Structure 1
Amino acid sequence: MSWKDSKSCTVLGGENLGKIDDANENAITRYKEAGAVLTGLDKAKNVIPGMNEKTLLHAGPPIEWERMSGPTRGAVMGALIFEGLASDEEEAEELAASGEIEFDPCHDHDSVGPMAGVISPSMSVYIIENPEHGNKAYSNLNEGLGEVLRYGAYSEKVLNKLKWMEDVEAPILKATLEQSEPIDCKEIIAQALHMGDDGHCRDVAMSLMFLRELAPYIMETDFDAEDKEKVLKFMGENQLTFLNPLMASGKAMIDAAHGIDYSTMITALTRNGTDFGIRVSGLPGQWFTAPAPQPNTLFFPGFKEGDQGRDIGDSAICETIGLGGFASATAPSIVQVVGGTPSDAADRTREMREITIDEHPSFTIPFMNFQGVPIGIDVRKVVDTGIEPFINTGVAHKDPGVGGVGFGLVRAPMDCFKKALKAFAEKYK
């Protein structure tokens, strides 16, 4: 069956196919041309559009407190205590349910956050600029693995680490970025894909290259030598240090392709532990959701089947731009973390070519003769083929207050794409 005989062609009407193809070509070109440079660090309330003292941003599509998953609730409570708006768990839960706090998706505020994705007003965020199109994106600092806020933990240990990050790490990084040249995150991503990273669950090379860029300028700041040493050690030991600026880079680049009439290209895959949501370029301002699936999980020691929550986090922005699960072939060793074999990893990348529009000229795969990673998820192709986007992911405990339980594999639910295709047909018929 040819593309023009496909089910989506019938749904959308043949007369619109040319407009859709032109729109998708425009969207994919804008994404491929987009850049991502790290230019600074500041408090979220100072730079994120629409942020105020009573705003908490979260991962995934919109959701109210009553429907939030365990890890999202835990992160919200921890953030409220961190902000000084509540003194303990009981007060935080009462305040979260009171209606006084404004909960909004990070994506609706030019931002992204891993796992629960909670960004509160006093948290410092990376500022990523797309110089080609003039837009910006933001993400907070990475806490490392295990018992951390983004996995829904909020113990005294978690809050003390967050306080140290804001009081010590953030001022040093802010001063460092004021001294350094803008850091080209797109270039770091491109190089690291040749060094065994996938750009989602495996960011080892990216994080070390990022630290290499920062370290000389960190040492030139006037801060206490012991504090600088602790910051370098903390960032150097964290294999996911670069995940947050990577996510904001992906957001800045793919947002250049959002809001183009007639485009069927997906510009966000995201989840909040309750719902999975997608955004479509030609349908700005709309979310299309389905229940978040439960990942197939490889557990950390001490955890077992049944402990995991449902899929969660804005980090699927990585797959949206062709990384993570879509770039599995660049990181065969990731199967030791998420399961499967190296040949499975390559097959996943090949499969994702069936639902995408193009390949990225800068993000290439040595194993596949330097083909670009598959980019531009087309909602029509997902529905027509029945192939659901494949995602590598971290996994949080289902209950608030516990933290991470492992890594896993998951597929985006088809219902999101069916709803989006129906809405697209109704708008552009």
Structure 2
Amino acid sequence: MTLPLLDGEPRVITAGASVLAEALDRQAVPRLGVDWRPPLPGTVEALARVLADPRRARANEIAVGRMLSARPRLSGVRPAREVLDLPPGTFLHAGPPIEWERASGPLRGALIGAAVFEGLAADAPEAERLLASGAVALDSCHHHRTVGPMAGVVSPSMWMFEVVDAEHGGTAYCSLNEGLGKVLRYGAYGAEVIERLRWMGEVLGPVLAAALAISGPVDLRSMIAQALQMGDELHNRNRAATSLLVRELAPAIVDAAPRHAAEVLRFINGNDHFFLNAGMAAGKAGADAARDVPGSSMVVAMARNGTDFGIQVSGLGDRWFTGPAGVPDGLYLGAFGPDDANPDIGDSTITETSGLGGFAMAAAPAIVRFVGGDVADAVAATGSMYEITLAEHPAYQIPGLGFRGTPTGIDVALVARTGSLPVVNTGIAGRVAGTGQVGAGLVSPPAEAFTSALAALADS
């Protein structure tokens, strides 16, 4: 008896471990490689139930459609006490809710600086005692339509970017960007940090508010789309976006405040990340529009507080699903190294949540000089994110990929099924309070945040 398999050249398909594929390649045997990975451990049953949910396809179509159609516009700059109704002695922070006892070094440093800035304490030791006593109320920025970079601390006297979604009507907020180095968001709280915050409250915020009253709202969706085609990815590289924002506002800044125009423009010009905070509020506005769609498995928030990494899912309301925040792998400043790094921190992963940042690294070859790796790694990172997302953004396009839209709308079911976790690029804060920034790099979220969300979806 003749077996057909042995009558001609074999046709081989390889998947999984690369050992067989490499052996065939050495023998010049033609093969078809399939990029297959097993689901995340322990998710098979929950994954089957979620994928079988008759609501899921339509719910995800609605959720991602809202995110893609959002039209964020920078409409104002206002004090937090006004727009967030923050009473004295209440501070917001990045990431899922956390208490002082579990707070990381950079978060503690930023809270100490905010207490001194607000006049609740005369110095750092007094501020630390005040915070440890529980006299200051802490809450997550995300619970107040707000996002904050790194430690993300917002106190009543800080001025906020106000972004309105012209399509869906939502509003989101983010603090103003201080620059790099020893700044509050990285946990520094020295005299120069407090002095800069006071100048931002007395000069920068009011000047920007007056300028926007003259210029009118700024179309952030269009600006982000342009910046992507100029080499930004809108998380760790915002040079083009900042330049576009300055170009848009400079005439109105001069008209609104000729006495302060030079110092305001000089400050923005020296801070390539100035646009980041406006872009974060834009991402928050779009993600919030996609919330609360029953049956949807799409992620609407990823955030870190320096201890925990948490996600929220459209179909699961305001519940947080968390795991331990990881330490980024990247490049360090000066004499700093991995031992100086705090685990990942900040709400700036709203950029990845909305299809930017690590998901758009193929648009920003220069970013690899900041976070490590090479251009091929950046392209591969973006390419892998199409496997776990629901759509491609119609406005946010990547020239190097033939103007393909950025991968947008993380699906926890696809994360579990492929075993591929979101790519996040990020700054690295020093683990000791008061240190400031020590580097930048890449980090992966904890798988358990996604697997626990999947289990909750399966039971919903």
Match of 2:343 in 1: 310
How far apart are the structure 2 equivalents of 1:15 and 1:345?
Answer: 30
How far apart are the structure 1 equivalents of 2:225 and 2:89?
Answer: 38
TM-score (norm 1): 0.96
CA RMSD of superposed structures (Å): 1.6
Q: In the alignment, which of 185, 205, 214 is matched to residue 249 of structure 2?
A: 214
Match of 1:183 in 2: 218
Instruction: Quickly say closer, same or farther: Cα 1:177–1:309, change in 2 above 3 A.
Output: same
How far apart are the structure 2 equivalents of 1:359 and 1:55?
Answer: 39
Q: Deviations over 1:350-387 (max 9, x none)?
A: 10111111100000011111110001100011111111
Match of 1:107 in 2: 142
Match of 2:204 in 1: 169
1:121 aligns with 2:151: no
Deviation at 1:215, TM superposition (A): 0.2
Match of 1:35 in 2: 71
Match of 2:174 in 1: 139
Instruction: Quickly say closer, same or farther: Cα 1:357–1:95, change in 2 above 3 A.
Output: same
Instruction: Quickly say closer, same or farther: Cα 1:247–1:338, change in 2 above 3 A.
Output: same
SS state at 2:459 partner: helix
SS state at 2:413 partner: helix
How far apart are the structure 1 equivalents of 2:359 and 2:396?
Answer: 11
Identity %: 49
Deviation at 1:51, TM superposition (A): 2.2
Instruction: Quickly say closer, same or farther: Cα 1:9–1:17, change in 2 above 3 A.
Output: farther
**Structure 2 counterparts to residues 280-291 of structure 1, below 5 A:** 280-291=313-324
Q: How many pairs align?
A: 422
Q: Deviations over 1:202-230 (max 9, x none)?
A: 00000000011110000101451xx2101
Structure 2 unaligned segments of length 5 or more: list them: 1-33
Match of 1:353 in 2: 386
Match of 2:375 in 1: 342
Deviation at 1:100, TM superposition (A): 1.7
Match of 1:26 in 2: 62
Deviation at 1:13, TM superposition (A): 2.9
Equivalent residues of 1:115, 1:315 under 8 A apart: yes
Match of 2:308 in 1: 275
Instruction: Quickly say closer, same or farther: Cα 1:97–1:230, change in 2 above 3 A.
Output: same
Deviation at 1:11, TM superposition (A): 4.0
Deviation at 1:17, TM superposition (A): 3.2
Match of 2:435 in 1: 402
Deviates more, 1:5-14 or 1:387-396: 5-14
Match of 2:29 in 1: none
Q: Deviations over 1:137-167 (max 9, x none)?
A: 0001100000000000000011111111111
Instruction: Quickly say closer, same or farther: Cα 1:8–1:84, change in 2 above 3 A.
Output: same
Match of 1:31, as an amino acid?
A: M
Match of 1:298 in 2: 331
Equivalent residues of 1:78, 1:154 under 8 A apart: yes
Q: Deviations over 1:271-330 (max 9, x none)?
A: 010000000000012000001000012011131220111000000000001101000100
> Runs ≥4 in structure 1, deviation > 2 angstroms?
5-18
**Structure 2 counterparts to residues 383-402 of structure 1, below 5 A:** 383-402=416-435
Match of 1:424, as an amino acid?
A: L
Match of 2:11 in 1: none
Match of 1:345, as an amino acid?
A: A
Match of 2:211, as an amino acid?
A: T
Deviation at 1:236, TM superposition (A): 1.0
Question: Which structure is larger by alpha-carbon Rg, 1 or 2?
Answer: 2
How far apart are the structure 2 equivalents of 1:104 and 1:303?
Answer: 31
SS state at 1:405 partner: strand
1:323 aligns with 2:356: yes
Equivalent residues of 2:72, 2:166 under 8 A apart: yes
Instruction: Quickly say closer, same or farther: Cα 1:122–1:352, change in 2 above 3 A.
Output: same
SS state at 1:201 partner: coil
Q: Deviations over 1:59-88 (max 9, x none)?
A: 000100000000000000000000001110
How far apart are the structure 2 equivalents of 1:108 and 1:401?
Answer: 26
Q: In the alignment, which of 288, 291, 297 is matched to residue 258 of structure 1?
A: 291
TM-score (norm 2): 0.89
